[in-house]
Amino acid sequence: MSLRSEKVLADFVEANPKGVAFLRFLRGGLKQGKYSDWDIAVKDCKVAKESCQRLFGEPWLRVPRQYVVQHYYDWGQCDLLPIFEWNGFEYLDQELFWSKVEVGEDGVPRPALGHDAFIVWMTGLLWGRRCDKRYLGFIQLAAREDELNFRECLERIFGRRLSGKLYRIAERGDAAVATHWVSRMRQVLAFRCLRSRPFSTANRVRGHWWCELGFHRRVAFPWIGILGPDGSGKSTVIEHLAQNLRRSRLKFIPVHWLPSLGPERPREGVPVTDPHAQLPKSYFLSCLQLGKIFIYWWWASFRYLIHLRAKREMVLSDRFYLDLLADPKRYRYGASPRVAKLVFRFLPKPDRIILLHTDADTILARKEEVSKEELERQLRSYRDLAVEYGPQASLVDGGRTVEEVAAEVLDHILEEFKKRSR
C-alpha cells in the first residue's frame, strides 16, 4: 500500500482530518511521477507518523529531524513537515499557513498557492542556495495569481525592501536570481526571528543543532563496502542496486578504492584488464602508499563523507582499502601484510562488508584476467577477511543471476537501515 493509490491517499487524509496539506501536488502544471517524492505538511507529527505506520507499514528507513520526518519506502519517499524553518529559524508562520489550507475537488487538502510556491522557493534557497528550474514557472504563477499571500509571506520574513526585490524577480520568472542574495536573506531571517520571538527562536535553534549533532555522531545512512575478485559481478550488482533504490529515492555516493579529497562526484576510471601487469613497489614506497590511503580516508570522512551520511546519502564502495589484503599485486603493494593490517586498524570502517563469492570456474568463465591458482588464492583471502571482520561481513553467492545477487545484497543493506531507523 502506498500514496500512489488514490484509495490509500484518501485513507491517509481521512486519518488526519484538517491536519495534513500536500505540497506541490498536481497543481500549477506539476506532475507526480513514479520517482517523485511526497512532501506533506502536518499539524500533529505523531498522529501522521502513526498513520504512515498503519497504512504503509514499516519504512526501509525513517530519519526524524526537527523540521522533517523522512520516510523511505520501496514505493517512494514521504516527508512529513511539522514546521517550515531553516536551521531553527521559522520562515512561514504555522497559524498563517493552516488558515489558508483548503480541500480541493479531488479531496486532497492543499495550502494557498502563494504559500505552496513560497515554501518550495525558500526551501531550495535557504537550505541549498539553489532554485530548481522545475519550479520557476510554478513560482511565477503563484506570484501572479496569488499575489496577496505570496507577498505577505515575503514581507513577514524579509521586510518591505528586500521582499519587494524578491517579488519582482519571482513575478517575471527569474526566481533563480535570488541565489545571489541567499546570504543576505539568511541574515535578515535570523535577525527578524530573534527580534520578534527571541526565546522560542533560540530554543528552536538549539534544538535543531542538537538534533543534527546527534545525526553526525550516529549517522543516518550506512557505509557499505562491496568486495570480490574481478568477475564476481560487483559493478553489475551496483547498477542493479541503483535501479532498485531509485523509486525509494535513497541515494548513494560511489567510492572506488580511494575517496576523492572533495565532495565532487568521482570520475569513472579506465577499466583494468591486466591487474598484475606491473611489478610491486619497494617496501618504502609501499609504506608511503599506506600513508596515502590513511590520509585520503580520514580527510574525506571529515571533509564530506560523514556529513553526507548524516544528511542524505549512504556510501557504497566498490573495493576499498581492505581489498589490498586480498589482492596486493593489483595495488603493487610490496610491504608486509602485517604493516597494512596495522594501519587499517586505525581507519574508518564500513558498517557492513559484502563479499561476492563463488567458485573460480564460474568467475573465469565471465572474466579471465588472472590464473586459476591466483583466483583461488584470492577467494580464500576474501573468506578470511569475512571471518576476521565478524558478523558485519556477509558472504553472498555471486554465481547466481544478477537479479538474485542484487536482491540479497539489498536485503543486507536494509538490515543496516533498520538499525538506523528512529
CATH number of residue 337's parent domain: 3.40.50.300
Quick one: 154 and 240 in the same domain?
no
Q: Mean per-residue pLDDT for 51-77?
A: 92
Quick one: 409 and 323 in the same domain?
yes
So what's the pLDDT on residue 270?
Answer: 54
- Contact (CB, 8 A) for 282 and 334: yes
User: What phi, psi does 255 have (nearest 5°)?
Assistant: -130, 120
Distance from C-alpha of 413 to C-alpha of 20, rounded to nearest angstrom: 32
Distance from C-alpha of 374 to C-alpha of 21, rounded to nearest angstrom: 61
> Residue 397: inside a domain, yes or no?
yes
pLDDT at residue 421 is higher than 80: no
So what's the pLDDT on residue 313?
Answer: 92
Final residue belonging to a domain, choices 216, 249, 264: 216
Which amino acid is present at 384? Answer: D
Q: In the structure grid, which three cell numbers stand for residue 310, read together?
A: 548524516
Reported as a single tens digit per residue, the pLDDT across 181-199 is 999 999 999 999 999 999 9
pLDDT at residue 85 is higher than 70: yes
pLDDT at residue 367 is higher than 90: no
| Domain with 105 in it | 6-216
So what's the pLDDT on residue 268?
Answer: 58
Final residue belonging to a domain, choices 197, 216, 235: 216
Distance from C-alpha of 376 to C-alpha of 403, rounded to nearest angstrom: 25
| Number of independent structural domains in the chain | 2
pTM reported for the whole predicted model: 0.89
Residue with C-alpha cell 500514496?
Answer: 3
Reported as a single tens digit per residue, the pLDDT across 330-343 is 999 999 999 999 99
Q: Mean per-residue pLDDT for 229-248?
A: 89
Quick one: 234 and 195 in the same domain?
no
pLDDT at residue 267 is higher than 60: no
pLDDT band, very low/low/confident/very high, at 277 (cuts 50, 70, 90): confident
> Residue 290: inside a domain, yes or no?
yes
> Residue 1: inside a domain, yes or no?
no
- Contact (CB, 8 A) for 244 and 410: yes
Torsion of CA 130, 134, 139, 144, to 10 degrees: 150
> Residue 173: inside a domain, yes or no?
yes
Quick one: 147 and 235 in the same domain?
no
Quick one: 210 and 267 in the same domain?
no
Q: Mean per-residue pLDDT for 382-409?
A: 90
So what's the pLDDT on residue 380?
Answer: 92
So what's the pLDDT on residue 3?
Answer: 87
Residue with C-alpha cell 601484510?
Answer: 337
Q: Mean per-residue pLDDT for 8-16?
A: 90
Quick one: 188 and 243 in the same domain?
no
pLDDT at residue 369 is higher than 80: no
> Residue 183: inside a domain, yes or no?
yes
Q: Mean per-residue pLDDT for 304-327?
A: 92
- Contact (CB, 8 A) for 124 and 98: no
Nearest of 265, 357, 257 to residue 304 by alpha carbon: 265
Quick one: 162 and 235 in the same domain?
no
The H-or-E segment that residue 377 falls in is helix 372-389
Quick one: 325 and 389 in the same domain?
yes
pLDDT at residue 353 is higher than 60: yes
So what's the pLDDT on residue 263?
Answer: 76
Q: Mean per-residue pLDDT for 297-321?
A: 92
pLDDT at residue 307 is higher than 90: yes
Of the listed ranges 164-178, 218-232, 256-270, the one predicted with least confidence = 256-270
Distance from C-alpha of 371 to C-alpha of 366, rounded to nearest angstrom: 13
So what's the pLDDT on residue 328?
Answer: 93
Of the listed ranges 33-37, 46-50, 365-369, the one predicted with least confidence = 365-369
Quick one: 172 and 225 in the same domain?
no
> Residue 250: inside a domain, yes or no?
yes
Final residue belonging to a domain, choices 167, 190, 216: 216
pLDDT at residue 315 is higher than 80: yes
CA angle, residues 339, 269, 255, in degrees to nearest 5: 55
> Residue 243: inside a domain, yes or no?
yes
Q: Mean per-residue pLDDT for 152-174?
A: 94
Of the CA atoms within 13 Å of residue 137, those in its CB half-sphere come to 5
Quick one: 143 and 226 in the same domain?
no
Q: Mean per-residue pLDDT for 320-328?
A: 93
Share of the chain above pLDDT 70, in %: 97
Quick one: 86 and 160 in the same domain?
yes
- Contact (CB, 8 A) for 200 and 93: no
So what's the pLDDT on residue 266?
Answer: 58
pLDDT at residue 139 is higher than 80: yes
Nearest of 165, 18, 44, 178 to residue 101 by alpha carbon: 18
Quick one: 225 and 324 in the same domain?
yes
H helices of 107-253, where?
A: 113-122, 128, 136-145, 147-171, 182-196, 198-217, 234-246
pLDDT at residue 168 is higher than 70: yes
Do β-strands 38-42 and 76-81 pair in parallel, antiparallel, or remain unpaired?
A: parallel
Of the listed ranges 93-97, 152-156, 338-342, 396-400, the one predicted with least confidence = 396-400
